[in-house]
Amino acid sequence: MSNDGEKGPKPGEAARRPGETKQAGGGTSPPAPRRRPGEKPFIPFARFEDVVVRCGHVEKFGLLPEGQDRFREGRRKKAMGRDCKACRERKQREEQEAAQARRAEKEKRKMQDAEQTPGPEKAARSQPGRLPDGSQFEVRYDAAKERWSGSLTVPTPGGTPATFTGSGSALFPLLANLDKQYRATLT
């Protein structure tokens, strides 16, 4: 059941009706009219005053009639401790736009990765032929960065092996990229 008699109305909620006084120790307060939950007695603001809020802008602060505004100071403090409505809305809009920009940037990086590292079938088709005997791939996955990095070492007729390095988000495109780097030295 409601214990309004103990807690009283919340800040912002209209205070008790004129003439109604708080009963100490749960005395013989008249039965309150039944209200549906969430329904509050409506008392219009008597007047407004200008307060400077956190962002430095001025907002209208509504005052209930004298004697019916027990929580005025609490409400005032709360109003002054936050930004004005316009600033709060702008901030929310900026946060949404920043999140959108981050998503777009991520999508763009993904596309660039895909461009830089052609798919294995495509690389194989455009670069026929096999690697020299003893060619060696070495790859390592970094889970934190979600990237593969690795090298391809190819023996050369001169005796000094040629090494190609690279990294990418997917393993097979990385292998194809290293292979492509080697083949570019052949032309």
178 interacts with Zn ion by CB under 5 A: no
114 interacts with Zn ion by CB under 5 A: no
Contact with Zn ion (CB under 5 A): which of 57, 60, 82, 106?
57
Q: What is the CA radius of gyration of the chain?
A: 36
Q: Which is nearer to Zn ion, 56 or 128 (CB)?
A: 56
87 interacts with Zn ion by CB under 5 A: yes
85 interacts with Zn ion by CB under 5 A: no
Contact with Zn ion (CB under 5 A): which of 14, 43, 51, 55?
55
79 interacts with Zn ion by CB under 5 A: no
Separation in Å, CA 84 to CA 2, 66, 91, 97:
34, 25, 11, 20
Shortest distance, CB of residue 36 to Zn ion, whole angstroms? 36
Query: Distance between CA atoms of 63 and 67, rounded to whole angstroms?
Result: 11
Binding site for Zn ion (CB under 5 A): 55, 57, 84, 87
